[in-house]
Amino acid sequence: MGSNVNQSKIAIGSGGFFGKGFLNGTQTKLKYVPEQDTDFIFCTVGEGHGFLGSTLVLVIYWLL
């Protein structure tokens, strides 16, 4: 379980500020992060859309 969390942290960090683009993340594309569409979906958003996309998701969640 610890390696899953580590890989998701690496994926979020590799996204940077603007992200790598939709479905272009290396950690998620190469399946280093398991269960991307359920348990670890936030790291997929973080890698693909970066800090801005992650912040937008959190703001929308907060508004709801």
Q: What is the full per-residue pLDDT of the chain (64 aa) written as tens digits? A: 578 888 888 888 888 898 888 878 778 777 777 777 777 888 888 888 889 999 999 999 999 9
Closest CA to 32 of 64, 58, 9, 57: 9
d(CA 5, CA 64): 27
